Structure formats: C-alpha cells, structure tokens
Structure 1
Amino acid sequence: MSATPAKEDAKEPVVIVESKLPIADPYILYWEGKYYAYGTRVNGFEVYISEDLKHWKRNANKALAPESSWGTKWFWAPEVYYVKSKNLFYMFYSVEEHICVATAISPEGPFIQHEKKPIVANEKGIDTSLFIDEDGKAYLYYVRFTGGNVIWVAEMNDDLTGIKTETLTKCISASDAWEKKQGTIAEGPSLLKIGKTYYLIYSANHYESKDYAVGYATASSPKGPWTKYTGNPILRRDKDAAKSLGLVGTGHGAPFICADGNYKYIFHAHGSETSVGPRTSYISNFNISNQGVISITGETIAPVRVE
C-alpha cells in the first residue's frame, strides 16, 4: 500500500515572498476566474495574479515593457479594460507626465503601444480612467495641470487612442478643506454608473501627505456637473478601513467587480507612519447603499506576494 498522497491532496505550501502587495496607484481587473493587479512600481508595468485577493503571484513577464511604449520614465497608474467591441484589452497609463494607451490580447500582456505617441501630444496629463456608457460612447477621465491637479473628461475617438479635444470638460478640482491639507490636488479618478447616477471617485491632497484621502461626487451625466458628497472623505487614515491596520496616506485606488458580483476597492498606503515609500496596496469592501451613498468599509485585506 503506497503512502504517497493522491495528486489532488498534495498541495504546494504557500511561500510568502513579500508581506505586502508592492504596487502604488493600484488597479484590479477580474477576468475569467482570476484577478489581475497593475500599479506603479518599476519602469513599465508588472502584473500580479490572484484567485483569492489575498495571495498574489507576480507574472514572469511585464505586462508592459518600456520599449513597447512611448516615453522612458515615470510609468504611473495603469488601468486595464477588456473592450468587448474590439475584443482587446486596453491599458491606459501615464509616462513622462503624458497619457498613453496600449493594447493586448490577454490581461497578462504583452501590452504594446503600436503608435508611439501620447494621447494628447501637446499637453501634460496623468491618471487616466476609461468609462464606456450604455450607448457605447467612450469617455476618458484624466488629470490636467490647470491650476493644480484637476480632473477633466473628454469623449474618445472610436479607436480609443485619441480624444475629441473640443469635448474637454472640467470635472473636479480641490476646493474643500479635506482636499487641501497638502497641495491643491484632485487625482486618481474612477467612474461608475449605478442606475441613472454617475459616480466619480477620486483622491485629494499630495500623495506624500498622511491625509491623502478618497472622496466622490455624483452627476446625472458623464460630463457632470458634479456634486461632491457632503460626507467626504470616505477613506482616510482616521476611517476604519485604514485605522484598523494603522494605515496612513491612503488613496489613489479603484473599485472593481469581484467573482460574486460585488464591488471591492483597492488602494495604496504609505510604507509606514514615518516613511512614504515603499507604497503598498490593500483591499476593502466598496458599498453602495439603497440611498446611493458609497462607503469603503469592512475588514481590510492586506495582500501578500507569494512564489
């Protein structure tokens, strides 16, 4: 009688490589049973893959290599979408403080920018986020440096590689007290539509501030006008999702849909109370009440990187 365990019983032990998920400005795409996390960390972008949101394995190859992109430094804040009408994955990101887009046939990449030029050639910008409405019209939200960091939106061209500059519309600037603790900065936009209401989730303050925080605004149109939620911020170091783990500098995240159809929110925090870096990522519940109020609550997941 053999004492060798059956194949299905012989599970490999989980070997933790890093005690945190080592990316900033994070974004998660759920696709065919797996979660794909992208973020700011190196030149180009890595991709981390998970099935349970707790344990993440870094893919052997970069999702986007610098040589596949315009620009050579400051690769920040990637977001990846599957666009059904194109049967392609689109990665929107910023490099050298210009906004770019690359495509791939897999969420793992390789993403390639086939025409190596910024989406907007003659102006700096960062923090892109795509939204495609029910009528098929695509909008790009991003930050322009128009008196601080200000969130704008523009309609996209049909090929999703350019914007209709004549449609540029200002959305959110830092004006409330909680948004101006350090700097005049509104950034990291994400757009959701629930029912007939559009939600623009964003971060405010300088990312180096311990009071970096998340709030949202609502509108009846993807271009606004936007009304900021009076209970902002919904995530900051003094809120339970951050306080439960002693996190500071919490922000620049994104909501994502999970396997069960519910939303969660991934965000980054400072390396410690005394050091901004290395920034690492965490995941909390993202709730929308029957009254249309968003909250980020629940037990915050502290992801780990495994072999």
Structure 2
Amino acid sequence: MSVNDIQIRDPFVLTVPEEGCYYLYGTTDEDPWSGRAQGFRAYKSRDLENWEGPYTVFTPPPDFWADRNFWAPEVHRYRGAYYMPASFKSAEHRRAVHILWSRNPLGPFLPLSPEPVTPEGWECLDGTLYWDETDSPWLIFSHEWTQIHDGAMCCMRLTEDLKEGCSRPAVMFRASRSGWSINDTGDVVKGEGENYVTDGPYILRPKDGGLLLLWSSYSATGYSIGTAYSGSGRITGPWSHAAKPFFSADGGHGMVFPTLDGRMMLAIHQPNRTPCERARFIPVQLLERDIKIL
C-alpha cells in the first residue's frame, strides 16, 4: 500500500540502516478522539513509497490505566532496545505520557513502568526523547492548554532507565510568546479565555551546534509547524522563535528522519482532520540555525 492508503496522525519514522528499511508509527485508531482506544499499529517500507502492514505493535494490557486517546507514539533506539513515548488518557486520569518498550521495532511494546512519566495531576501530551551533551535522557512534552490555557512546552530529565523523571519540569516557552500562535481557532480550541496550543515537539541540532525545536500550534492559516531555537545548545534555553511558521498548510506534528541514501525528510500529517489525515514526506535541509523545505 502507499501512504495515501494509510489513515495516520502524528507520523514518526524510524530508519534502520542495517535492515535497509523504515518503520512508520503514529496515531492509528480510526476515531482517536472518542470511544475505547485499540492501540497502535505500524508499517514497514524499503523505499517510503510501498508499505507493508499494518502490524499491531501495542495492545493495552488488561490492567493498563488508560482506555482512550492513544496518541503520537515515537520509537527511539536506546541501549539495545526500542522505547515508545506516547500519550494516553482515561476518565479517572488526566492525559499523560507513558513510555513503552520492546526488543523489536514491531513490538510487542509493553509499559516500561506502572505509572506515566509526566507529573501527576498535569494534563500532558506528545512526549519526545532527547539525549543531552552528557548523554543524559530528557523528556520534552506539552503541558496542555486544556489545563493552563496558554500551552507550555516543558522539559524534564529522566532516569537512565527512562522509568521516571528525576528533575522538576522546566518551562521552555509558552505558545503565546511565539508571535504566530493564535487563540481564535473556531471549533478546534474551545473554552473560556485565551487558549494557545502547544504540541508535537521534536528536537534537532542545526549546523551551528545549537538546538532547534519543531513544534505545532494553530496559526492564521490553520494547523502549522513553527521553530524555536536555543543558541546555548541547552534544552533549558533560552529559546527564541522564528517570526512565522515553518509549515502552515493545514498539516503538522512534524519530525525529521534520515533517509537510507543520506537525505533529510520531514514527516507530517496532512490534512488535519479525521479521517482524512495521511503521512506526508517532504525533503528538508538543516541550516546554520534553521531548517528549510527543499
């Protein structure tokens, strides 16, 4: 099948050069917004055009705490295993990031620990993993606008085994400070007051050695991807924002992966409406302090 045959949000591509293939993960329930969640499925390809699958990579165990809104899985290789941060929710538990793990990129993935890694009582989603200059692991995640109105991008150091946080969460920035995120999004963002979305973080190191964060929100043209830059090269910043979104054509939750032939590719979902969302792969180039679409 082609990507046009696969309904998927929040696509994440893992490149495995020794196998000569790519694995595609994402939010794969037909209706990810309501009803009982089924789990996550994945796909496999050698050329980014023809895909095999779906393969069921996560089915919630009977005692798993969440039953809805299974969103945005990523898969990272670390110490000989594969780790999947993803977002989950239940009626009794706020949305949170829980890390799963497996010995195989096609799973089965299982909960790494009994509890989520994001702070108890916080409404959180879209966790991504980052290893700093000392190889210490961090979780970058969104503190949801549904709880704090002005959504925040946060970071927190993790224990070496990725089972829990070992530092207080730090606010990297809030969405309203970007200069382009808007609070008037019609039916997308509801509630009293001004509400600004942060989601879909993904970290890159541009050519100058700083840090570049891709993240998504809503701009005047709809769901968009912006960039934030840390010239210090530290995850704690300070962070500055590009004046305009990097991508603003009704698509987002972007990440960048290397192709088997040495190029860089942006993965997004587009359009941003269910059940029409599909993975899109767009060639990009890292610059001194930024990224551009080729």
TM-score of the two chains, using structure 2 as the length reference:
0.82
**Which residue of 175, 180, 197 maps to 1:185?**
197
Instruction: Check 1:56–1:223 CA distance in 2 against 1; reply closer, same or farther (3 A cut).
Output: same
User: 2 CA distance for matches of 1:255 and 1:17?
Assistant: 20
Alignment of 1:288-307 (within 5 A): 288-289=286-287, 291-297=288-294
Instruction: Determine if contact 1:174/1:184 at 8 Å carries over to the other structure.
Output: yes
User: 1 CA distance for matches of 2:225 and 2:40?
Assistant: 24
Alignment of 1:76-91 (within 5 A): 76-83=71-78, 86-91=79-84
The offset of 1:192, in angstroms, is 1.3
Matched residue, 1:130: 129
The offset of 1:278, in angstroms, is 2.9
Instruction: Determine if contact 2:211/2:229 at 8 Å carries over to the other structure.
Output: yes
Instruction: Determine if contact 2:2/2:51 at 8 Å carries over to the other structure.
Output: no
Amino acid at match of 1:186: T
**How many corresponding residue pairs?**
260
User: 2 CA distance for matches of 1:18 and 1:196?
Assistant: 34
Instruction: Check 1:262–1:19 CA distance in 2 against 1; reply closer, same or farther (3 A cut).
Output: closer
User: 1 CA distance for matches of 2:175 and 2:13?
Assistant: 26
Matched residue, 2:228: 217
Gaps of 5+ in 2: 30-37, 90-94, 186-194
Instruction: Determine if contact 2:113/2:163 at 8 Å carries over to the other structure.
Output: no
Q: Which has the higher contact order (CA 8 A, sep 6+)?
A: 1
CA shift digits 1:29-59 (9 cap, x unpaired) = 0013111111112221101111111111224
Gaps of 5+ in 1: 1-15, 238-248, 298-307
**Which residue of 218, 240, 248 maps to 1:236?**
248
Q: Aligned with 1:179: secondary structure?
A: coil
Instruction: Determine if contact 1:21/1:56 at 8 Å carries over to the other structure.
Output: no
Alignment of 1:133-152 (within 5 A): 133-145=132-144, 146-152=148-154
Instruction: Check 1:215–1:92 CA distance in 2 against 1; reply closer, same or farther (3 A cut).
Output: same
The offset of 1:122, in angstroms, is 3.1
The percentage of aligned residue pairs carrying the same residue is: 25
User: 2 CA distance for matches of 1:293 and 1:122?
Assistant: 35
TM-score of the two chains, using structure 1 as the length reference:
0.78
**Which residue of 42, 62, 65 maps to 2:59?**
65
Matched residue, 1:108: 106
User: 2 CA distance for matches of 1:46 and 1:270?
Assistant: 20
CA shift digits 1:231-271 (9 cap, x unpaired) = x211112xxxxxxxxxxx21012111211233211001127
User: 1 CA distance for matches of 2:265 and 2:283?
Assistant: 4
Q: Aligned with 1:75: secondary structure?
A: strand
The offset of 1:172, in angstroms, is 2.8
Instruction: Determine if contact 1:20/1:281 at 8 Å carries over to the other structure.
Output: no
Matched residue, 1:262: 263
The offset of 1:114, in angstroms, is 4.3
Moved over 4 A (4+): none
The offset of 1:18, in angstroms, is 7.2
User: 2 CA distance for matches of 1:109 and 1:134?
Assistant: 29
The offset of 1:21, in angstroms, is 3.0
CA shift digits 1:66-86 (9 cap, x unpaired) = 227541211000000001xx2
**Which residue of 30, 33, 41 maps to 2:15?**
30
**Which residue of 85, 95, 111 maps to 2:88?**
95
Instruction: Determine if contact 2:3/2:278 at 8 Å carries over to the other structure.
Output: no
Instruction: Check 1:18–1:154 CA distance in 2 against 1; reply closer, same or farther (3 A cut).
Output: closer
Matched residue, 2:192: none
User: 2 CA distance for matches of 1:177 and 1:292?
Assistant: 19
RMSD value, Cα: 2.1
